[in-house]
Structure 1
Amino acid sequence: MKNSATLLLAGTLLLAASPAATAQQKASSPYRTRFAVDAPITLGLGAASGLGLYLVQQKNGLTDAELAGLRKADVPRFDRFSAGNYSKSAQTAGDFLCYGSLVAAPGLLALNEDVRGRYAQVLGLYLQTMLATDAVFTTTVGTVTRYRPYLYGTEGGGSRNSKISTNSFFAGHTAHTATATFFAAKVFHDFNPGSRAEPLVWGAAALMPAAVAYTRIEAGKHFLSDNIVGYVVGATVGVAVPQLHKSAARAGYSLAPLQGINANGYSYSGLLLTKRL
């Protein structure tokens, strides 16, 4: 599942960069960015992420007495199936998928000729998008205490008393992976509207964070609900930030005169406003 998702994303983007696709006229960027506006926003998001990390460092871990008092019955039934899970191999797999996707997503976009022509702009948007997710994630983890699933078992060693053992909500690995993959799919869509590869690109984008979420549950790092929230936050930010930067001409807005005769024989006229997503 892990390898197939990576190969699928790579293969579909390579398909988009094939001679048949690159033979088309080079497209202008669908995005509008301005350094005077986007640089302060990016710096502000970075500052918010730093504040979140500071809040995380101020948290306290559990004492042995508090750990002894944890009961699986206290976990909501929806999440209880994973209480007590612990797997180092699943954690390693999740780290590999997550950190790999953060590099692979912008790297694979460079295979597309149109994107490559505006790559500096795309990378700037990618940084801003990832920092937006990170700001939401760190500030949430820094202010919300939820015990990780493995604390309800007996494994974990010294990490059981660590302050990071209370950082279960929400799933950062899943959120950051979803941001990276959905950003890549959104940018691909905006530069290549109507491409036959789009269903595969979006499918791969959806599959990768789902695979990461599975490893995080198996590793005992997050409950299912933590991963669902992380997935939704990451996917939303990954799509929303590029969409907010779309120029009016490429955002799919169009205004056209409309006239005709209705079923009762009366004529009508007006303006038709449409928007392509």
Structure 2
Amino acid sequence: MTAQNERGPYYLSLKREIIYSGSGLVGTVGAFFLHERIPSITASEAKQPNLTGFDKMGLGYNSSTAKNLSDQTLFTALGLPVLLLAGKESRRDISTIGFLYIETMLINQGITDLVKVAALRPRPYIFEENFPSTQILNSNDRSSFFSGHTSSTATASFFVARVFADYYPQSKLKPYVWGMAAALPALTGYLRIRAGRHYPSDVLVGYLVGGAVGYLVPTLHKIQPKRKNLSIAPGMGGLYLNYDF
């Protein structure tokens, strides 16, 4: 028996979900412990990365208003899957969609956190003239590449757009849903630049990675896995393990 909601387009497989979710969890937890081992330095010891003309456009900003607005756009994106409850077809398959959403966000978080630890790129605001040279920098001050706000927003918005398109392929709302999916992370990325938290390349890569994860994870779950005795099946109130004798 394969793990598929009888009404929905997605298949769940115990082996596949362990691999996908496990990789995201390992990446996230591993990056957390690596972050804890990053030594603190002063702002004067931070070396400004070699910037292209493209990234130089990210210098000179440090807006607290833009930072707060970027938090709001992120939280808005994270709540978008709730809108899928408005549709009958997606609402009755919400346990599967919810599981896939958590899995998708976990994968993106793992990738984002590991890259940040590997890159250790100082944020643009560190190089502002009024930033104290004696200021101690923690790991977050050196987490510019790539933008987690942008990647998370893109993951959530593209996931919702992909799921909506799969459940309602004939809907006239599809262009607007895809437009929202493209615009919301772009706005978030712009605000992160204005906040002095990221260079343009940080938000561009975050947009591409997050969008790819949000689109591909549900798409890959449309592929029916090989038949296995042990499977995951959605049901009323949650997900259940099934074993066929």
TM-score tier (shorter) = 0.7 to 0.9
Shift, 1:233, TM fit? 0.3
Matches for 1:72-151 after TM superposition, within 5 Å? 74-103=50-79, 105-151=80-126
SS at match of 2:165: helix
CA contact (8 A) 1:29 1:118 kept: yes
1-structure distance, mates of 2:152, 2:97: 17
Shift, 1:98, TM fit? 0.4
Over 3 Å counting, the alpha-carbon distance change for 1:214 and 1:155 in structure 2 is farther
Over 3 Å counting, the alpha-carbon distance change for 1:155 and 1:164 in structure 2 is farther
Q: Give the CA RMSD over aligned residues.
A: 2.1
Deviations 1:56-89 (A, max 9, x none): 222234324325x75x9x4222111222311111
Shift, 1:209, TM fit? 0.3
Instruction: State TM-score, norm by structure 1.
Output: 0.73
The one of 172, 185, 199 aligned to 2:175? 199
The one of 21, 38, 58 aligned to 1:42? 21
CA contact (8 A) 2:24 2:111 kept: no
In the alignment, structure 1 segments of 5+ residues that lack a partner are: 1-26, 249-277
CA contact (8 A) 2:10 2:221 kept: yes
Q: Which of 1 and 2 has greater Rg?
A: 1
Aligned counterpart, 1:267: none
CA contact (8 A) 1:30 1:247 kept: no
Aligned counterpart, 1:188: 164
Over 3 Å counting, the alpha-carbon distance change for 1:124 and 1:64 in structure 2 is closer
CA contact (8 A) 2:57 2:200 kept: no
**Poorly superposed stretches of 4+, deviation over 3 Å:** 154-160
CA contact (8 A) 1:86 1:156 kept: no
Instruction: State TM-score, norm by structure 2.
Output: 0.82
Say which structure, 1 or 2, has more relative contact order (CA 8 Å, 6+ apart).
2
Deviations 1:80-136 (A, max 9, x none): 122231111111110111022112x21111111100110000000001110110111
2-structure distance, mates of 1:156, 1:174: 25
1-structure distance, mates of 2:190, 2:158: 18
Matches for 1:161-172 after TM superposition, within 5 Å? 161-172=137-148
Please tell me the residue identity of whatever aligns with 1:106.
Answer: P
State which drifts further: 30-39 or 161-170: 30-39
